[in-house]
Amino acid sequence: MKVSESHLLIDAHTFNPYRWLEPNHVKKGGASLGPFVNLAIFSAGVRVCVGWRFAVVELQAFIVELLSNFEFFKTPQIDKIRPEMAIAVVPTIEGESEKGTQLPLKVTFARKGEE
Ligand code: HEM
């Protein structure tokens, strides 16, 4: 059976920008339990977070502001970053999980108008 024939819509390997434009892109008959149910951050079903769309737009706006105003560079520790399950997935450094969340990046103000 091909991956795309499974009961879930698993077609990440296919170039299809329309997936973001079609609100009901989920394959008919497939599982649809709620927004980002695979991430389990907004819950699902009847108790799904009613603010999830607003929260996602807020995060998108926040990311656009960050990327517009700052530049992010790797540090030597970048290869040691590991995902750790807390309430959400957080980055930690291999062998230093007792220090909690760490994401060692070099951050500078973005150079405006230079390309
Ligand atoms: C990243 C941000 C957010 C996360 C991770 C989140 C997560 C959740 C989760 C997991 C639930 C289900 C709780 C349960 O099972 O009882 C929930 C419920 C709810 N959320 Fe959010 N939420 C977020 C942002 C928001 C925002 C921005 C609003 C309002 C503008 C909002 C309004 C609500 C309401 C009213 C409920 C109760 C829904 C109900 O029980 O009928 N949330 N949220």
- The model's pLDDT over 89-111, given as tens digits with 9 standing for 90+, comes to 889 999 998 999 999 999 999 98
User: What pLDDT, on the 0 to 100 scale, is given for residue 48?
Assistant: 82
User: What pLDDT, on the 0 to 100 scale, is given for residue 1?
Assistant: 41
Name the residue type at position 107: V
How large is the C-alpha radius of gyration of the chain?
Answer: 19
User: Highest mean pLDDT: which of 14-18, 19-23, 69-73?
Assistant: 69-73
**Residue 59 confidence (pLDDT) above 60:** yes
Question: Cα(30)–Cα(32) distance, rounded to whole angstroms?
Answer: 6
Mutate to test the pocket of ligand 1, among 43, 49, 52 (most ligand atoms within 8 A of CB): 49
Distance 41 CA to ligand 1 centre (A): 9
Output the ligand 1 site: residues, CB below 6 A.
41-43, 47, 49-51, 54-55
Question: Cα(20)–Cα(17) distance, rounded to whole angstroms?
Answer: 6
Distance 47 CA to ligand 1 centre (A): 8
Distances (CA, A) of 26 to 12, 20, 22, 23, 93: 13, 11, 9, 8, 36
